[in-house]
Amino acid sequence: MMFTDTQQIDWPQKYDLFGVQVSAVNYDSALESVITAARSNISSCVSHTAVHGLIEASRNPQLRSMLNDFDIVAPDGHPVRLALNHFYGAGLPDRCYGPEFMLRTCWRAAAEGIAVYFYGSYPHVVKRLKDNLLRRYPKLAIVGCEPSLFRPLTPQEDEELVDRINSSGAGIIFYGLGCPLQEKFAAWHKGKVRAVQICNGAAFDFHSGNKRMAPAWMQRNSLEWLFRMSQEPRRLSRRYLHTNTVFLAKLFGKAVAERRNGNGRHM
């Protein structure tokens, strides 16, 4: 069953980066939009997109179309934020980092009595995530916490999951399915799930203690990818080295094109 929203949300403005519409948001503006939608259980989608996700979407028409229908595509990494600032004068002083955004969202949800739901990752990860968040935010109403089945859901399983989420009263659901599966999952369920769907896979691992976050100084200097690659070299080396190279090439190409058209900006 599809649901039609009766309330319009003033979602943040988006700008084109390589065919992907990225939102010019900071933590506060993104959070206000999410909380406003969650109060009324408005079916909507939020993604936190770093270089890898941006490049994957730019090369995959289906994924790009899905992301461009999201209500917020936040700049998860500093390079994406800086690109928005350089090409569009967005004036963003900081990125909107997914794991940090989860904590801020849970804090506001606890303060306002908005229930949250978690879906994805492994059983031990979601259990520790729930325990850790409740220690941090004792008033947080976690009305559902389910691990991924790590396979496509049958139509019946999918319908039952949607029913569980909707009957729980959750205003916000976090997906920890990994990029780009979680974005596809959210897109498929927009209009079915009566909640704000937030794609935030890495946050499940970090806030459960399953994986370490990069030191603050590496995060500030856009080196989080290097830290994560050092932790999981076999899985992440090719991803980061390849997508970072493609990102830089696309940035250079866009800058050259804008200079030729007389639209270049200065950092």
Residues 192-236: tens digit of each pLDDT: 999 999 999 789 999 998 988 778 887 777 777 777 777 777 777
Which of 149-153, 173-177, 195-199, 260-264 shows the lowest per-residue confidence on average (mean pLDDT)?
Answer: 260-264
Q: What is the tally of structural domains in the chain?
A: 1
Q: Is residue 226 part of a domain?
A: no
State the pTM of this model.
0.89
Residue 267 confidence (pLDDT): 40
Q: Is residue 244 part of a domain?
A: no
Q: Is residue 3 part of a domain?
A: no
Q: Is residue 224 part of a domain?
A: no
Residue 263 confidence (pLDDT): 62
Q: Is residue 182 part of a domain?
A: yes
Using the predicted structure, report yes or no on whether residue 170 has a pLDDT greater than 70: yes
Query: The domain containing residue 201 runs over which residues?
Result: 14-217
Q: What is the mean pLDDT of residues 116-126?
A: 97
Q: Is residue 193 part of a domain?
A: yes
Residue 2 confidence (pLDDT): 56
Report DSSP letters for the chain, one per residue.
-----SS---PPPEEEETTEEEE---HHHHHHHHHHHHHTT--EEEEEE-HHHHHHHHH-HHHHHHHHTSSEEEE-SHHHHHHHHHHH----SS---HHHHHHHHHHHHHHHT--EEEEES-HHHHHHHHHHHHHH-TT--EEEEE---SSPPPHHHHHHHHHHHHHHT-SEEEEES-TTHHHHHHHHHBTTBSSEEEE-HHHHHHHHTSSPPPPHHHHHTT-HHHHHHHHSHHHHHHHHHHHHHHHHHHHHHHHHHHHHTT-----
Q: Is residue 264 part of a domain?
A: no
Using the predicted structure, report yes or no on whether residue 187 has a pLDDT greater than 70: yes
Q: Is residue 261 part of a domain?
A: no
